[in-house]
Amino acid sequence: MTATASSTALLPLHAALGTDISVLPRIFEDAINIAVMQRRLPADVALSAKAQYQIERPWQFSWLGAPDERLVAELKRRAPQPEAADALIDDIVSVAQAVAYLFDTQTVGIRLRVLTEAMCPRFHCDNLPVRLVTTYLGPDSEWLPEEAVNRDGLGAPHPDRPEIVLNPDAVQMLKAGDIALIKGSGWEGSEHSALVHRSPSLSPGQKRLLLTIDPA
């Protein structure tokens, strides 16, 4: 049975979990490679996200720049249902501004996507310092506690590679609405301890509204 990120009794020492934004700066701790702020989406944000989610085909929005009024205008212009997008846009911009503040940068890379299939279905580590991940609707990202990982299995699939997952029952899953900061192998000191994670599998007809933000 797949565990969830809310199972604090099972939470490994390299993970930080809380319901307040103050948990996110714990990503700077050497021992932590995932920091999760648990939250229930406000009703207006959930409804706004659902309106954009109704699109039948895959859709993507990308942005590299400051999380300012220009981002607001571009999100409004590109949203599948712009007349219902305000609450979602406000949430995205607030999260992006928090990332910019936390990592002391004026520039963030943002991707908002409606996905109809798993983007990265194999367990892996990101080749970048850190990434924020939040899913507004649909299944959320899965990750592995360190004791359940065989890092020799990471990389491109090969017949000689061992299985990555040592204990399938240990797989953790974020919940829709959660905001997670994930360390990649580009974070100094985490070259061999970056978080191992993957995209969730999607059933036929199932979709996912995913936001990722990279400080630049």
Region 181-190 average pLDDT? 97
Q: How many helices (H) and strands (E) does the chain have?
A: 3, 11
pLDDT at 136 over 60: yes
Residue 118: the pLDDT is: 66
Contact 116, 58 (CB under 8 A): yes
Stretch among 8-12, 89-93, 178-182, 192-196 having the lowest mean pLDDT: 8-12
Sign of the four-CA dihedral 120, 31, 167, 207: negative
The gap from C-alpha 110 to its chain's centroid, in whole angstroms, comes to: 11
The pLDDT, as a whole number, for residue 89 is 98
Q: In what order do the strands lie in the sheet with 208-215?
A: 15-18, 34-37, 179-183, 130-137, 208-215, 108-115, 59-65
Q: Phi and psi of 198, rounded to 5°?
A: -155, 165
- Report the mean per-residue pLDDT for the chain: 92
Distance CA 160, CA 152 (A): 10
pLDDT band at 11; cut points 50, 70, 90: confident
How would DSSP label each residue in 180-195?
Answer: EEEE-TTSTT-TTTPP
- With a pLDDT cut of 70, the percent of the chain lying above it is 95
- Beta partners for 15? 34
Domain borders along the chain are 31-150+164-215
pLDDT in tens, 113-131: 999 876 778 899 999 999 9
The answer to whether residues 176 and 41 touch, using CB atoms and an 8 Å cutoff, is yes
Domain 31-150+164-215 fold:
Jelly Rolls (2.60.120)
pTM, two decimals, is 0.91
State the average pLDDT over residues 142-157. Answer: 91
